[in-house]
Amino acid sequence: MRKTWLLGLGFFSISLTWALYNAFVPLFLDDYLNKAALIGFMMTIDNYLALFIQPWIGYRSDKTHTRYGRRMPYLLIGMPLAAVFVTLIPWYNSLVMLVVFMVLMNLSMSLFRSPTVALMPDITPESKRTKANGIINFMGGLGSVLAFGVGSTLYGMGSYLPFLGAGMIMLLTLVVLKLVIREPVASSQGAGEQSAVRIKDQLDRTTVFILLAIFFWFVAYQGVETLFTLYGTKYLEMSDKDASFSLTFFSLAFLIFALPSGWLGAKFGKKSVITAGVLGLFIIFGSILFVHSILLLRILLIVGGIFWACININSYPWVVATGREQSIGTRTGLYYLVSSLAAIISPPLLGWMMDLFGYPMLFITASAGLLLAFLCLLAVRGEQPDTPSGIQAPSL
């Protein structure tokens, strides 16, 4: 598991960068735009690139064979570029420059996100992947906690400081991963099998409903994460710092419960734990509608972070478990296809609902997304086996 913890550094840097981006870039856009729907739309322009690039990159990485491995070449190109552009974001002096930096950063992130995620099942036996996903998401949660906690403090000292820190951490992470991670060598026979894997072949009934559920719960999560600082400042009259810091409680709870949720998924089944998480987060988001106390809000965010860990830790291993080993990169791309599509639709949709009916619509619409995710989970018949080729894994 040592390599899994070190691979978690990749997730740490990705999560830290995205958390900073979602927390502070809407505030940058607010300098030029006065509608939540417009801000939400601008926050999704980059995801149009990710929608097409990440599935293709994941598919290509399955078929890539270099002396650096299948996944590592994409990290070596994408991470330095992303480090540069995330550092440049707060140095905008016009809306056009800000959008250009946003697009370039997210284009760079799209080059290595799917290969980084696919490294986990590459170097981890099937029976240990749910627990391994808990480890790497623990690292990702730690990145989000630092982004919202330390990042909010640095932001108060200078808006460029948290972004500079994110760029430096990303470069350091790349050095560590390059030195430590050694990908398994694919045989020529494996290469031939990989070339036969096609995206449409992966879309069986079970996979389709799982992907639909992922789409709907990411609609809920992405909208809340992206627009919460506006909800906090405009509706609850919190300061920029307090609004962004409140998200620390959600991320901290996710961080603490990442490892236990992986253990629960391995013991009781991924579908069961995910379903409990979806229902729990539905209740939490619905309850936040009636909360005006910052203390009570942060308590609810802590509980919500626990339920989000139950969902997020177990969903990716579930998607991978429905296919063959040769399709790991392709299925990783499909996972990010639906999450990117949700990221495109959710912020402008929820922002538009907030403009029409008021800021409470953020959590009303998010709750509706979780309800639809639950209905999709009901359509998935039984628990998907933990091993490829349809053989049930022994209980852990």
- For 354-380, give one letter per residue: b (16+ CB within 10 A) or e: beeeebebbbbbbbbbbebbbebbeeb
Measured between alpha carbons, how far is 296 from 303 in angstroms, rounded to an integer?
11
Question: So what's the pLDDT on residue 188?
Answer: 41
Mean pLDDT across the chain: 83
- The answer to whether the beta carbons of residues 246 and 294 sit under 8 Å apart is yes
pLDDT(85) > 90? yes
Question: So what's the pLDDT on residue 237?
Answer: 85
Question: So what's the pLDDT on residue 37?
Answer: 75
The tens digit of pLDDT for each residue in 140-159 reads: 878 877 887 788 788 888 88
The pLDDT > 70 percentage for the chain reads 89
For residues 146 and 203, the model is more confident at 146
**Mean pLDDT, range 379-396, rounded to an integer:** 47
Question: So what's the pLDDT on residue 200?
Answer: 67
pLDDT(286) > 60? yes
Question: So what's the pLDDT on residue 23?
Answer: 82
**Mean pLDDT, range 317-329, rounded to an integer:** 76
The tens digit of pLDDT for each residue in 43-72 reads: 877 677 667 787 788 778 878 888 888 888
Contacts of 385 (CB under 8 A, 6+ apart): 321, 391, 392, 393
**Mean pLDDT, range 338-366, rounded to an integer:** 89
pLDDT(330) > 90? no
For residues 121 and 325, the model is more confident at 121
pLDDT(241) > 90? no
pLDDT(391) > 70? no
Question: So what's the pLDDT on residue 144?
Answer: 76
Question: So what's the pLDDT on residue 392?
Answer: 32
Question: So what's the pLDDT on residue 196?
Answer: 45
Measured between alpha carbons, how far is 315 from 158 in angstroms, rounded to an integer?
37
Q: Which of 118-127, 180-189, 356-365 holds the top average pLDDT?
A: 356-365
pLDDT(388) > 50? no
Residue 187 pLDDT grade (very low, low, confident, very high; cuts 50, 70, 90): very low
**Which has the minimum average pLDDT: 119-123, 345-349, 371-375, 385-389?**
385-389
The pLDDT > 90 percentage for the chain reads 30
Distances (CA, A) of 148 to 51, 247, 292: 26, 6, 21
Question: So what's the pLDDT on residue 327?
Answer: 72
pLDDT(282) > 80? yes
All structural domains of the chain, each given as residue ranges with its CATH number in brackets, are: 2-180+195-387 (1.20.1250.20)
- The answer to whether the beta carbons of residues 330 and 197 sit under 8 Å apart is yes
Give the amino acid at 329: G
pLDDT(377) > 70? yes
Question: So what's the pLDDT on residue 48?
Answer: 75
Distances (CA, A) of 296 to 137, 280, 287, 292, 310: 26, 17, 10, 8, 22
Question: So what's the pLDDT on residue 161?
Answer: 92
